[in-house]
Chains A and B, each alone.
Chain A
Amino acid sequence: MPIRKRKFDSLIIGAGGGGLRAALQLSRADAQVAVVSKVFPTRSHTVAAQGGVNAALANVSEDNWHWHMFDTIKGSDYLGDQDAIEYMCRAASRIVYELEHTGVPFSRLDNGRIYQRAFGGQSKHFGGEQATRTCAAADRTGHAILHSLYQQNIRAKTHFFDEYFAIDLIKDDAGYVLGALVMEIETGEPMLIEAKTTLLATGGAGQLYRTTTNALINTGDGMAMALRAGVPLQDMEFFQFHPTGIAGKGMLITEGVRGEGGYLINRDGERFMERYAPHAKDLASRDVVSRAIYIEIREGRGCGPDRDHVLLKVDHLGPEVIKKRLPGIRDLCLTFLHSDPIEKPIPVYPTAHYTMGGIPTNRYAQVVTPARHGPEEVVPGLYAAGECACVSVHGANRLGGNSLLDILVFGRAAANHIIDYLNESRYHRGLPDAGVQQAMARLERWDKKGDGETVDSVRAELTRVMEQHCGVFREQTMLDEGVKKVQELASRMQEVRLTDHSRIFNTARVEALELENLMDIALATVCSASARTESRGAHSRVDYPDRDDEHWLKHSLYFNDCSLDYKPVRMKPLTVDSFPPKARVY
């Protein structure tokens, strides 16, 4: 039976904030857009973002984009590309105003303007006083943004393929990406979507780790698809552990809690961040706070009978502030801890949270890869934006509130570039058979019957290995063992079999496809980590405790054949002076 086929100007894979912001721009420009998502759009993980989105609106106190730019670069431990960072920080205010116009119910100040709160790693005057820069809709900012964007897409008549799973990109011999093979989950039927441009906006890979703030669907599918299409992944060793996941469970407690005045204490009741970051204290960068918690626990100052977590104290904020500014957090605590933060501090522990690395792009969100003519040649027709991409604005450590900004700014930038590309490319190039067959083989492989390992057992082992071998603190022997173990697991994938071969809404098959993707991402992460012999941002090596700018001020590129390459950090901003690397103290 021939595979069903649909044809659009532009394909977007992913309906989180990044995908939907791009779709809105394209639909408004009258391009035919197809948005494919493995879950109904408002169930994408952007919905879970709590604290807010950064923009130097200066609604609460003096601010400007240039300070935001400095904080982002410093936060990135100087690994972020300064042109992209300048672009993002300059665009931030406009992006937030546009969002507000689409309907986002931001919290408000008495003068009717958007409410902003303090968040980690943000300062005035290039490292001075704490800035108040994070625009918030209570502690449900992601929900508010995602729903508003979906709503405006309904108005713009964007074409949605809900509950379709993207299998692989289709590429021709000349290197053009021409669409993707997808599977309709409800029927199990494959379908080809042909498009002049394809935007990957598939989000992060938090499911690499056992305890994570990420949804079960965050399996790095788009990154793995890019890898299989010959694109390397950039800076995968940088994985953010959020300091305050609910201990033992993983649900996120937003940094906004500390922004509103909450702070961390150890078993002696000591506000220990004062020792690690005398100036910024609890609002130091996430990598810094996560390491501090880890050390407190390691040195026996953890709380609880097992001394295995620290406490986040909030009761002093009073019921008023907690109910009004942090209602979602209170709900989470009541549901998962059966305790009310108005009365009792919250047990927290560093938890896998954010994939800084991803598909390399330039600031137009075009995917770039090393080729004959230099380290950054555009892959024609392919774009990436959001958490799956690495543009790179977060470098070695992302600041809170900068990811929502990233997905919106670069979702929009992608769409703008796509509109130009569509104007220049009048015709579809036609889908090559070979590419389609390869993608189909990946799907059909799961029809194999017989005995074998289960998807679940391999996935459980993978997340355990990642946690043990590639966590907050890293060391050469551990990492090398980690590489070996993940490689072993990857080879065991051949022997994994499904018992359920049905077509209709077969979630087991979806999970199998997701595990294959996770496996590729795990290898990318642990291989990149074992090669980088320095500590920078989220990548902390106990055997190489210092940052080594002489050798390592460069981006890693991991290829699907397990080889690594490197490319320089773009230190030159668009218009202002470069911020040269400095020691990073908070």
Chain B
Amino acid sequence: MAAVRFSIYRYDPEQDQRARMQDYTLEHVGKDMMLLDALLELKKMDESLGFRRSCREGVCGSDAMSINGRNSLACITPLATLKQPVTLRPLPGRPVVRDLIVDMSQFYHQYREVKPYLTVHDPLPEVELSQSPQDREKLDGLYECILCACCSTACPSFWWNPDKFMGPAALLQAWRFLADSRDQDTDARLDALQGPYKLFRCHTIMSCVDVCPKGLNPTLAIGKIKDLMIKRSV
């Protein structure tokens, strides 16, 4: 592949009054290169370029960003599939710390809010809690979330009400525990999601499903929580 052009959002709060887009060109691009590899190459040329990364294989959730207008992980996005100039911006709707790095605290806060941990009130056995393969299968598509925030930062309801609407990622985790046959906190979990905002601000726009790099489906999970809530109230 020939050279690839980039247009990258830059913002250093110590120097820049406001953000700007900076152009870069990368020569000698390998045909199998992922976007993260390209960013690492660019960083060799300009070490001030800031972005998060760790695993390089789509499991740690560090390098979510807006890639040509769509949220995804740089490390599993093949460069060859991208239109040029490849335009990179930080995840939308979150305060920018620097360059492609956003402040994730609201996102993490919402995750903690849904009490994302297994709660068992009965005395614990000396061996494992039993769970059938069928019940275990209900957790597939839920537990694999890597907390990358691609979904929540693509969700219009989250943009408008980040302090009140839980957002798709947190709600997916809420359902992950509601769906777990071992969990014994169903009522408290549903109570905590009552009201017009926390859950019900989701208008099933599906942006979250579109962007999830792990192929998870928060909208489906949200629908299931709603169903359960309605079932409980009758």
Interface residues of A, Cβ cutoff 8 Å to B: 39-40, 42-45, 47-48, 96-97, 100-103, 105-114, 137, 140, 143-144, 147-148, 151-152, 154-155, 186, 215-217, 251, 328, 331-332, 335-336, 454-456, 498-500, 502-508, 511
Q: A151 — nearest CB in chain B belongs to which residue?
A: B117
CB atoms of A251 and B60 under 8 A apart = no
**Could you tell me if A112 and B130 are in contact, using CB atoms closer than 8 angstroms?**
yes
- Residue in A closest to B176 when the chains form the complex, CB atoms: A105
Measured in the bound complex, the distance between the Cα atoms of B43 and A109 in whole Å is 47
The answer on a CB contact under 8 Å between A101 and B129 is yes
Q: Name B36's closest neighbour in chain A (CB-CB).
A: A216
Known: A107-B136, A151-B117, A454-B44. A331 touches B56 (CB 8 A): no
Q: Is the pair B117, A499 in contact by a Cβ cutoff of 8 Å?
A: no
| Shortest Cβ-Cβ A-B pairs, 4 listed | A103-B118, A112-B130, A151-B117, A508-B47
B156 within 8 Å of A (CB atoms): no
Find A154's partner among B58, B117, B182 (CB 8 Å cutoff). B117
A-B contact pairs, 17 of them (CB 8 A): A42-B60, A42-B147, A48-B55, A103-B182, A112-B131, A113-B130, A114-B128, A151-B117, A154-B116, A215-B60, A455-B47, A456-B44, A502-B14, A504-B97, A505-B98, A506-B50, A507-B51
Shortest distance from the beta carbon of B153 to any chain A beta carbon, whole Å? 15
Q: Report whether A110 and B143 are in contact in the complex, using a CB–CB cutoff of 8 Å.
A: no
Given known A-B contacts A97-B127, A105-B136, A502-B15, A155 and B47 have beta carbons under 8 A apart:
no
Task: Please state if A155 and B115 are interface contacts (CB–CB under 8 Å).
Answer: yes
B191 part of interface (Cβ distance < 8 Å): no
Q: Which residues of B are found within 8 Å of A498, using beta-carbon distances?
A: 47
Task: Supply 8 further A-B pairs (C-beta < 8 A) apart from A101-B118, A499-B48.
Answer: A107-B133, A147-B143, A454-B44, A503-B14, A505-B50, A507-B43, A507-B51, A508-B48
In the complex, are the beta carbons of B104 and A40 less than 8 A apart? yes
Complex CA gap A455/B61 in Å reads 25
Q: CB distance A43 to B128 under 8 Å?
A: no
Chain B residues within an 8 Å CB radius of A507:
43, 50-52
Distance between Cα atoms of A502 and B15 in the complex (Å): 9
Q: CB-CB < 8 A to B133: which residues of A?
A: 107-110
A97-B128 Cα distance, complex, nearest whole Å: 5
Chain B residues contacting A251 (CB-CB under 8 Å) are 56-57
Complex: how many Å from CA A507 to CA B131?
44
With CB as the reference atom, state the residue of chain A lying closest to B126. Answer: A97
- How many angstroms from the CA of A331 to the CA of B180 in the assembled complex? 25
Question: Please, how many angstroms separate the alpha-carbon atoms of A107 and B15 in the complex?
Answer: 51
Query: How close is A349's CB to chain B, nearest CB, in angstroms?
Result: 16
Q: Which A residues are CB-close (under 8 A) to B118?
A: 101-103, 148, 151-152
- Nearest neighbor of A144 in chain B, beta-carbon distance: B143
Q: Chain B residue with minimal CB distance to A142?
A: B59
Inter-chain CA distance A39–B97, complex, in Å, is 15
Contact yes or no, A500 B55, CB < 8 A: no
Complex CA distance for A511 and B52, rounded to whole angstroms: 12
- Min CB distance B211 to A, Å, is 16
Inter-chain contacts of A336 with B (CB < 8 A): 32, 57
Q: For B143, what are the chain A residues with a Cβ–Cβ distance below 8 Å?
A: 105, 137, 140, 143-144, 147
Q: Would A332 and B130 be within 8 Å (CB), given that A507-B51, A508-B47, A508-B48 are in contact?
A: no
A529 to chain B, nearest CB (A): 27
- Interface size bracket, B side: 35 or more
* Residue in A42, A111, A456 whose CB lies within 8 Å of B61: A42
**Do the beta carbons of B60 and A48 come within 8 Å of each other?**
yes
In the bound complex, what is the Cα–Cα distance between A114 and B133 (angstroms)? 10
Residues of chain B with a CB closer than 8 A to A186's CB: 97
Shortest A294–chain B CB gap in Å is 24
Partner of B48, one of A101, A456, A502: A502
Give the chain A neighbours of B60 by CB distance below 8 A. Answer: 39, 42-45, 47-48, 215
**B233 within 8 Å of A (CB atoms):** no
From B15, B59, B108, name the one whose CB has the most chain A CB atoms within 10 angstroms: B59
Q: Is the CB of A40 within 8 A of B108?
A: yes
How distant is the Cα of A503 from the Cα of B50 in the complex, in angstroms?
A: 12
Q: Given contacts A43-B60, A216-B54, are A500 and B47 in contact (CB under 8 A)?
A: yes
Flag whether B120 is at the interface (Cβ < 8 A): yes
* C-alpha spacing A456/B43, complex, angstroms: 9
Given known A-B contacts A100-B128, A103-B118, A152-B117, A500 and B48 have beta carbons under 8 A apart: yes
Partner of A108, one of B47, B136, B144: B136
CB pair B57 A101 closer than 8 Å = no
Distance between Cα atoms of A500 and B112 in the complex (Å): 35
Closest CB in chain A relative to B141 CB, distance in Å? 10
For window 95-153 of B, CB contacts with A under 8 Å fall at 97-99, 101, 104, 108, 112, 115-118, 120, 124, 126-133, 135-136, 139, 143-144, 146-147
Are A101's CB and B147's CB within 8 A?
Answer: no
Closest residue of A by beta carbon distance from B127: A97
Residues of B contacting A114 in the complex (Cβ-Cβ under 8 angstroms): 128
B85 close to A (CB within 8 Å): no
Query: For the complex, what is the distance from the CA of A106 to the CA of B108, rounded to whole Å?
Result: 25
- Least CB distance from A389 to B in Å reads 21
Q: Determine how close the nearest CB of chain B comes to the CB of A19; give it in whole angstroms.
A: 15
B217 at the interface (CB under 8 A from A): no
On whether the beta carbons of A108 and B131 are closer than 8 Å, the reply is yes
Complex: A456 Cα to B44 Cα, angstroms: 6
- Chain B 48-73 interface mask (CB, 8 Å, partner A; 1/0): 10111111111111100000000000
Q: Is the CB of B62 within 8 A of A103?
A: no
Smallest CB-CB separation from B104: which chain A residue?
Answer: A40
In the complex, the answer to whether B120 meets A101 with C-beta atoms within 8 Å is: yes
Given A110-B133, A335-B58, do A504 and B14 touch, yes or no (CB 8 Å)?
A: yes
Report the Cα distance A511→B54, complex, angstroms: 12
| Across-interface contacts of A47 in B (CB, < 8 A) | 55, 59-60, 146
* Cα–Cα distance between A111 and B47 once the two chains are bound (Å): 55
Q: B76 contacts the other chain (Cβ, under 8 Å)?
A: yes
Q: What residues of A have a CB within 8 angstroms of the CB of B112 in the complex? A: 154
- Indicate whether B12 reaches chain A with its CB closer than 8 angstroms: yes
Q: Distance (Å) between the CB of A394 and the closest chain B CB? A: 23
B136 partner residues in chain A, CB cutoff 8 A: 105-108
Task: Tell me whether A505 and B15 are in contact (CB under 8 A).
Answer: no
Complex Cα gap A509–B98 (Å): 14
Q: Which residues of A contact B180 (CB under 8 A)?
A: 103, 105
Q: How far apart are B133's CB and chain A's nearest CB, in angstroms? A: 5
CB distance from B176 to the nearest CB of A (A): 9
Residues of A within 8 A of B98 (CB): 504-505
Whose C-beta in chain B lies nearest to the C-beta of A100? B128
Interface string of B74-90 (1 = CB under 8 A from A): 00100000000000000
Within 8 A of A (CB), among B32-46: 32, 43-44
In the assembled complex, the CB of B96 is this many whole angstroms from the nearest CB of chain A, namely 10
Instruction: Give Cα distance in the complex from A42 to B143, angstroms.
Output: 13
Q: From residue B76, how far is it (CB to closest CB) to chain A in Å?
A: 5
